Structures are given as C-alpha cells and as structure tokens.
Amino acid sequence: MNFSDLPPFLSEALAERGYAQPTPVQAAVLEDHAGGRDLIVSAQTGSGKTVAFGLAMADDLLGEAGTLEPADGPAALVIAPTRELALQVSRELIWLYAKAGARVVTCVGGMDPSKERRNLAHGAHIVVGTPGRLRDHLERGALDLSALKAIVLDEADEMLDMGFREDLEEILDATPESRRTLLFSATMPRPIAELAKRYQREAVRISTIGGERGHGDIAYQAVTVSPSEIENAVVNLLRFHEAETAMLFCATRDNVRHLHATLQERGFAVVALSGEHSQSERNHAMQALRDRRVRVCVATDVAARGIDLPTLSLVIHVEIPRDAETLQHRSGRTGRAGKKGTAVLIVPYQRRRRVEGMLRGARIEAEWIEAPTPQMIRAKDRERLLGALLEPVEFDEEDRELATRLLAERSPEDIAAALVRSHRASLPQPEDLIANTPEARREAQKDRHRAGFEDVVWFRMEVGRRQNADPRWILPLLCRRGHITRNEIGAIRIGGNETYFQVPRQIAGKFGAALARTANSEDEQDRILIEQSAAGPRDDARANRRNGGPPHAPRVHRKGPGKPGGKPFHKRKPRD
Ligand code: AMP
C-alpha cells in the first residue's frame, strides 16, 4: 500500500511532511484485511504507530461522501498513558487531519478542565486524552461517547501498569458496541490479552516487532565506571557526543533533580522532566527542547514515556533500567523513523554481569567501552570546531567592516585564535575520570604503608567476598559515609562475610561519628554496619590485603547481581 492510495487530504498532509513511504506498521494497518476491523498491534514507539492509528481511523471519521461530517460527538477517541504522550499524539493527528478540517480536542490531567469542557462542547471529531481526565469528563457529562466509531488505546501495557484499568474499562463501557477498538501495545502480557478478549471482536493481530526491530538504528554502548564517578562519566559522554538533543534517564525524581542541578552547575543547557514538575513546567521544558534552547533532558521513565524529539540522537541510561523492556523504551527515544541514535548504559562495574544478562535477554549487542577521557573530548572538539569554522558562510557588510577593523589591530592568527577561544569558552569542561583499567586499579591498591598510618584503629564492616566486597566500591562508600578521603584509609582486608580496614587513630573519632550520622536504614549501602573493632582482622590467611599483601588484586567473589554495590549514584537527601 502506498500513501498515494489514501484520500487526498491525508496523502497531501503526509507528502507535505515529507513522509513518502509507510513504515511497516502503517503498511500493515492499511492492508485490505485490516480495514474496518479491530486491531491488536504490537509496535514500539518510534515505529510510526501514531500515524498508523491515525490512518486506520480514517474510514471511521469520514462520512459516506468521504468528508468529515459536522461533529455531534467525537467519532474517534485516543487514550494515552501520559500527558506528554497525549499532547504528542494530538499534535500528530492535528497535522494529519488539518486538511480534512478535523477538530482535535485534548483532555489531559494538569490542564485547565473548564477550557477542555468548552472545547468539547464546541464539537470535536477526535478526542485525545489521559485516562483519569477523560473519565472525569465522562462522569460530569462533558464527554459524550455515544457516537464514537473508533477508540485507540495507545501504549496499553503502560496504562495497565500505571493502574488505569478501571478508568479504561469505564470509558470503554460508555462507548457503543459497534465501535472499533484499536489496541496498541509494545508488549502483550496477559492483562492486555484479557482486555482484548473482553473488548475486541476477532481482532486482526499485527506485529512489526521482531521482523524489523524497532530499534535497528540504535548503536548500544556500555560504559563501566566506579559508582562514585557516574556523574563525571555523564558529563564526559555529553561532551564527547555533543548530540543535538540528549535524554538522560534516572530511576527516581530525586536523582533527576540532583543530576539536573549538577549539569546546570557545570554549564549545560538542561531541563528536567519528572512527576514532581507541574504541567506548565513540563510544557516549558518540552518547548525548550523542541526550540533547541536546551539540548539535554534528565527524566524518569514515566515522565519521558513516548516522547518524540526528532533531533534526539543520544540516550544515556544514567541508572541501569529495571528490565529489558524499560531499556528498550528508554533507548527508543532515539533512532526514530530511520534516524541513527546512540544509547549508552552507564554500568557501575559490580553490575556488569546483570547488564550483560539484560542485554542478552533483549538480544542487543552492546560495545563495552571506557568513558571518554578529556583528551578524547578535546580531540573531538577540535574536529567539530574546525568543521564549524570552515563551513562556508555568507558575510554581510557589517561583518566585513568589523573584520577590517580587527585586522588593523591584530594579526589574522590572533583573530582566528580569539574566535576559537570564544567558541571553546562556551563548552563545559570535561571531567578527569579515575582510570578504570586493571593496571590503574592495581596501582591504586598498592602498599599503603605511609606516614600517618603508624598508629591505626581497625574498623569492621559487615560485607565480605560473599557480598561482592571490593575496594572499588568500598573505598568510595567509606569516604562518603565517614567524611574522609581515600588517603585516610589504610589496609583493607576482605574476608568471607566481613571486611576490616584501618583508619589513623587521630581521625578515628571523627570518622566513627560521621558513620553514625550517615547510617540510613532505607538505603542498601547506608545500612551496612560499620563499627570499630578492637581485635582487628583475625583470619589474615584468608583475607585479601592491600597493605603489603600479595601483589594480586583482591579476589572478588562475583556471585549474582544486586549486591550492596548498587547504591544510587548520589547520596544527598532531598531537602524538601
Ligand atoms: P511514533 O512511533 O508514532 O512515535 O512516530 C515516530 C516518528 O516517526 C514521529 O516523529 C512520526 O512523525 C514519524 N513518522 C511517522 N510516519 C512516518 C513515515 N511514514 N515516514 C517517516 N517518518 C514517519
């Protein structure tokens, strides 16, 4: 099926947009046997699914004459899980149906409900909304679904996950039996099958996942880092790629807020999207990204669901996604509609196994790399600067006049250097990362016999080899919780279930007090018991030594994922 076979108002809109060929999911819904039928479609975001359901509902919207009838009540209803997605869907449907003269009304939580009621009263051909707000309008009598011809559940799996089952059922029950039900879902778990069974009739099943993978244009990379260096790695990745738009994913609102503040402090133009932002803040953030006033967005999974920014070419999983599906959803913000994208996972090294398993499960091949170094970033900057400054430019009179004045004062070389300098000054500085190579680690673990460690106190912590104890995460943890530096920690001896380490006697009191203050029963790492030990390590023979011990690196018992190394990347408590 070609777009040219569509009614002219649709094919013209698509042509103006520059869409020449249907994507696989669009081609599938336009097949003859799908016409007029219920559809159950597994298509990922980025596959062109919004236009696909837009096209699929064309026959339901058009009257006998092939044109839009004056709207009594909406003929089509699209329900999406989040405000952003609903707004995005309505934007797509507005341009797609502009030539047909369709009225599209959006009803989403966080927007002015009375304005929405007025819009609905004024007449709508298509209504797009989020489940809760649509249900409100329905219950208050503002939304009349009695003339509905087609209903679309977009990202249905996500809506059920978010607890919208009841709202969806209430809305579906208020529609005529004769309506078409188009169910779009990235995954098809049992609750989706149950929903389909109850509300669909002999649905045509369409799957474009698998054959053409939704994410074929995404290059995956995994970067191993020390947990304390995650933010620095993010800075360097952003600076290395200099993507037109980049999206960074964190697991919680607190972490979004913290990373947003950190990046802002370092000079990045960045916005945050999470559940703690009001609708108008979120709209501003999205607008700033679209206008390219900002280039980086830090977001939680839910807040970024379904977002489509055509210039987005870099996704960074700042915190490991909870499962392969989340990995794909997040990564699918890039590599959309045939464009190329990069998705980078930042992996604290004690989590590497877990991530390898997740990638295998999702059949994704990732390249394991080190975080870009400042040298690599500067080399890239040079390339980019040369490229940008050597691009042909048209100068106007005023430019030339200023150039002549500059040349009268300075040499051409000085002027060029000043230009380069001013470009460079706008770029945030790369961070020095602690090298993560085996050699660098061995170096860091060398004999720690040195001044200040003549008189030491032993401390004991309740993790050992069996819990994945490793100086690489223990050291940063001790510094963070005990408010001391790495240089103030002496020998570390790792036993089966416990680890001993030395602290100079003159700071042991201050260290112990800081440990007590920072203990936090809600946090996996901050729960670990650390206490002074009068006896010190008893079983030296089995312990790994950092102090004058054998030259090999400490043995790390890598048994399973999710051990205490999995601390979130920041430690500040939210202030509110
Ligand atoms: P979606 O999967 O609906 O989020 O769409 C992803 C992106 O692909 C959106 O920006 C669409 O406008 C765009 N798109 C949809 N259909 C086509 C097409 N046939 N050709 C090129 N891009 C498209």
pLDDT in tens, 419-460: 888 888 888 888 877 655 555 555 555 544 466 777 889 999
pLDDT tens digit sequence for 258-278: 999 999 888 899 999 888 888
Among 189, 212, 235, the domain-final residue is 212
- If asked whether residues 63 and 158 sit together in one domain, one would say yes
Q: Which ligand 1 atom minimizes the distance to the CA of 22?
A: 19
CATH code for the domain of 258: 3.40.50.300
Instruction: Tell me if 50 CB under 6 Å of ligand 1.
Output: yes
Tell me whether residue 419 is in a domain.
no
**Which of 376, 405, 428 marks a domain boundary?**
376
Residue nearest to atom 20 of ligand 1 (CA): 19
Cα of first residue to Cα of last residue in the chain, in angstroms, is 56
Q: How far apart are CA 200 and CA 38, in angstroms?
A: 6
CB of 95 closer than 6 angstroms to any ligand 1 atom? no
Flag whether 522 is in a domain: yes
364 domain-assigned:
yes
147 in the same domain as 28 = yes
Residue whose CA lies nearest to ligand 1 atom number 9: 48
Determine the residue of 19, 45, 90, 245 to mutate for testing ligand 1's pocket, defined as the one with the most ligand atoms within 8 A of the Cβ atom. Answer: 19
Is 46 a pocket residue for ligand 1 (Cβ < 6 Å)?
yes
Count of domains for the chain: 3
Q: Return the residue whose CA atom lies nearest to atom 21 of ligand 1.
A: 19
Question: In sequence order, what are the residues at sequence separation of 6 or more whose Cβ sits closer than 8 angstroms to the Cβ of residue 387?
Answer: none
Closest C-alpha among 189, 171, 164, 192 to residue 302: 164
Place of tokens 């002496």: 490
The CATH number covering residue 461 comes to 3.30.70.330
Q: Is 342 in the pocket of ligand 1 (CB under 6 A)?
A: no
Establish if 205 belongs to a structural domain.
Answer: yes
Measured in angstroms, how far is the CA atom of residue 89 from the centroid of ligand 1? Answer: 11
What pLDDT is stored for residue 71 in this prediction? 63
Q: What is the number of the ligand 1 atom nearest to the C-alpha of 89?
A: 3
Same domain (yes/no): 197, 266: no
pLDDT at 214: 44
> How would you write 234-300 as a 3-class SS string?
HHHHHHHHCCCEEEEECCCHHHHHHHHHHHHHCCCCEEEECCCCCHHHHHHHHHHHHCCCCCEEEEC
Residues 190 and 224 in one domain: no
Distance 54 CA to ligand 1 centre (A): 11
Q: Say yes or no: 127 and 258 in one domain.
A: no
- Residue in 308, 309, 313, 328 to alter for ligand 1 test, most ligand atoms within 8 A of Cβ: 308
CA of residue 47 to ligand 1 center, whole Å? 6
Tell me, yes or no, whether 34 lies in a domain. yes
State residue 216's pLDDT score.
56
Residue 33 has a pLDDT of: 87
How far, in Å, is the centroid of ligand 1 from the Cα of 473? Answer: 43
Residue 208 lies in a domain: yes
Whether residue 184 sits in one domain with residue 37: yes
Per-residue tokens: 167 = 């709202």
Quick check: CB of 337 below 6 Å from ligand 1? Answer: yes
CB atoms within 10 A of CB 487: 12
Q: Helix or strand or coil: residue 478?
A: helix
Nearest CA to ligand 1 atom 4: 46
Residues 192 and 231 in one domain: no
Task: Give which of 147, 146, 164 is closest to 155, Cα–Cα.
Answer: 164
Residue 432 resides in a domain = no
23 CB within 6 A, ligand 1: yes
Question: Which residues of the chain are under the pLDDT cut of 50?
Answer: 211-215, 447-449, 540-576
Q: How far apart are the CA of 204 and the centre of ligand 1, in A? A: 22
- Residue 308 in contact with ligand 1 by CB distance below 6 A: yes
| Whether 18 and 33 share a structural domain | yes
Task: Give me ligand 1 centre to Cα 46, in Å.
Answer: 6
Q: Which amino acid makes up residue 534?
A: A
**Do 233 and 97 belong together in one domain?**
no
Q: Which of 376, 405, 422 is the last residue of a domain?
A: 376
With residue 325 as reference, give the H or E element that holds it.
Answer: helix 324-331
For ligand 1, pick from 3, 16, 21, 51 the residue to mutate: most ligand atoms within 8 Å of CB. 51
Which structural domain, as residue segments, surrounds residue 317?
Answer: 218-376
Residue 418 lies in a domain: no
Whether 57 and 200 share a structural domain: yes
Q: In the prediction, which pLDDT does 442 show?
A: 57
Shared domain for 108 and 135, answered yes or no, is: yes
Tell whether 225 and 194 lie within a shared domain. Answer: no
